[in-house]
Amino acid sequence: MKSSPKTFAVKSFGCQMNVYDGDRMAELMAAQGLTPADAADADLVVLNTCHIREKATEKVYSDIGRIRKDAGKQGRAPMIAIAGCVAQAEGAEIVRRAKVDVVVGPQAYHNLPDLVAKAARGEAALDTDMPVETKFGHLPARRRVPPSAFLTVQEGCDKFCTYCVVPYTRGAEVSRPWGAIVDEAQALVDAGAREITLLGQNVNAWTGTDARGRDGGLDALIRELDTVLGLARIRYTTSHPNDMTQKLIDAHADVEKLMPFLHLPVQAGSDRILKAMNRSHSRDSYLRILDRVRAARPDIALSGDFIVGFPGETDADFAETLSLVDAVGYAQAFSFKYSPRPGTPAAGMDDQIAPEVMDDRLQRLQAALNRDQSAFNAGVVGRTCDVLIERKGKLPGQMLGKSPWLQSVHLITDAGVGDMVEVDIVRADPNSLAGMERVKIAA
């Protein structure tokens, strides 16, 4: 039995939705009167875990061991709570194997305070339910947030790509109601946000009904948020090609606050592999969507996700991924080696690809993506754009912020965090841009 914790730390791994959940858990524990602390000193450590690729689970177990060992040296035994997708996927197995105090899934974390209280009484504290009743209604109001804030509007996935655990760990696609999102957006702006990124595993599958009873998709929600005073920028991620409606594409043409950036994962360039992945779009249909997006917003920065070494991927299939990359010219992208996930159809497929073949393909793909990222960054040099200042840089007087195309920009300025400054982009470095301030726009 452990005494009730007085301090806490939340460590989030994985995607931006986990970052959002981690922040909300921190707000929840702070609202219970607990004080935030470093993970190294906290009475309660929440590990908000990711299950998307291999080793994530093993990493959780080794993290638990390390936290215990470090705390043990100080004569402490912190309470450990496992949240997120590993909690959902492994459930009681984590309690059995690592004797953690609390296990809470991504749809149940509003119950974290109760679970912590139970654990303090020495009772079993596990909740991996996926209630229809939403957790969001049970979370405290947003208070202080960074200039660029996340807002989860949609959760879950019905697509069942054959490699992916998300439909199992996050459940079916659910959209948060219109009014709750608009209220939270306003609360975020009141608490200091100038940019909001709408989050969802399939964010562009979001649907809702507005105050006048009209049904709409993500485009309608974006147009509504465009009217929120004090909000300067809107982004959304991650989208699925099949839910990329013309209305949403049109919003990129005429909603000024909607930033010129689109993360649209394709995963592979070969139709044969896309079919085996159950992606339900083809190479061609994907490229046609991007043509329409570019027609609506010619300067749009495109981003994607790729998996190399899906079972059965031949050299010829992989060559099609490289040629798709050449055809698109991504501004940035994420690429991963295929990782068999227990319980997914692809894990049982024949023709799993040898690790050295995956390594080689990943290296070649990343070289192509880096080349295109550099070219995109170089293309912005000489342009003037707004930069939203997010934090201090390493050098004196230096601040860091983001361009409309989501590039990091560093500049010398006396502008503060949350200010929008007009900047001439003067140089492209491998992972960031150097800017010179023009005139400060009143915040």
Measured from the CB atom, is 281 or 341 closer to ligand 5AD?
A: 341
The one segment of 71-79, 222-230, 338-346, 417-425 that binds ligand 5AD by CB under 6 A? 338-346
Binders of ligand 5AD: how many residues, by CB under 6 A? 12
Residue nearest to ligand 5AD (CB): 305
Residue ranges of E strands in 79-194: 79-83, 102-104, 126-127, 148-152, 154-155, 174-175
Q: Give the footprint of ligand 5AD on residues 192-221 (CB under 6 A).
A: none
Cis peptide preceding 238, ω within 30 of 0: yes
Q: Which residues pair with 36 in a beta bridge?
A: 8
Residue 201 binding result from ligand 5AD, ligand SF4, none, given CB thresholds of 5 to 8 Å by partner type:
ligand SF4
Residue ranges of E strands in 339-403: 384-392, 398-402
Residue 345 binding result from ligand SF4, ligand 5AD, none, given CB thresholds of 5 to 8 Å by partner type:
none
Per CB under 6 A, 166 contacts ligand SF4: yes
Amino acid at position 216, single letter: G
Per CB under 6 A, 353 contacts ligand 5AD: no
Residue 330: which region, alpha, beta or left (left: phi > 0; alpha: psi -120 to 50)?
A: beta
Per CB under 6 A, 167 contacts ligand SF4: yes
Per CB under 6 A, 172 contacts ligand SF4: no
Q: Which residue has the tokens 């290296």?
A: 363
Per CB under 6 A, 336 contacts ligand 5AD: yes
Per CB under 6 A, 164 contacts ligand 5AD: yes
Closest by CA position to 26, among listed 36, 40, 41, 17:
36
Measured from the CB atom, is 277 or 380 closer to ligand SF4?
A: 277
Residue 13 binding result from ligand 5AD, ligand SF4, none, given CB thresholds of 5 to 8 Å by partner type:
none
Q: Which one of residues 160, 214, 375, 429 is an interface residue with ligand SF4 (CB under 6 A)?
A: 160
- What residues form the annotated binding site? 15, 50, 85, 157, 161, 164
CA 179 to chain centre: 23
Task: Let me know: does 102 contact 8? Beta carbons within 8 Å.
Answer: no
Residue 257 binding result from ligand SF4, ligand 5AD, none, given CB thresholds of 5 to 8 Å by partner type:
none
Q: Give the footprint of ligand SF4 on residues 217-246 (CB under 6 A).
A: 240
Residue 336 binding result from ligand SF4, ligand 5AD, none, given CB thresholds of 5 to 8 Å by partner type:
ligand 5AD
Q: What is the DSSP string of 223-248?
A: HHHTT-TT--EEEEE---GGG--HHH
Please give the helix or strand (H or E) that residue 4 lies within, else none: none
Q: Give the footprint of ligand 5AD on residues 24-53 (CB under 6 A).
A: 52-53
Give the three-state DSSP class for 271: helix
Rounded distance between C-alpha atoms, residue 198 and residue 178, angstroms:
12
Measured from the CB atom, is 307 or 409 closer to ligand SF4?
A: 307
- What residues form the annotated binding site for [4Fe-4S] cluster? 15, 50, 85, 157, 161, 164
Per CB under 6 A, 345 contacts ligand SF4: no
Q: Which residues contact 169 (CB under 8 A, 6 or more apart)?
A: 51, 85, 88, 89, 105, 106
Pairing of strands 44-49, 7-12: parallel
Per CB under 6 A, 156 contacts ligand 5AD: no
Per CB under 6 A, 341 contacts ligand 5AD: yes
End-to-end CA gap in the chain: 51
Q: Which one of residues 94, 119, 161, 353 is an interface residue with ligand SF4 (CB under 6 A)?
A: 161
Helices 218-225 and 246-254 sit at what angle, rounded to 10 degrees?
Answer: 20
Q: Which residues bind ligand 5AD (CB under 6 A)?
A: 52-53, 163-164, 265, 267, 305, 307, 336, 338-339, 341
Q: Which residues bind ligand SF4 (CB under 6 A)?
A: 157, 159-161, 164, 166-167, 201-202, 240
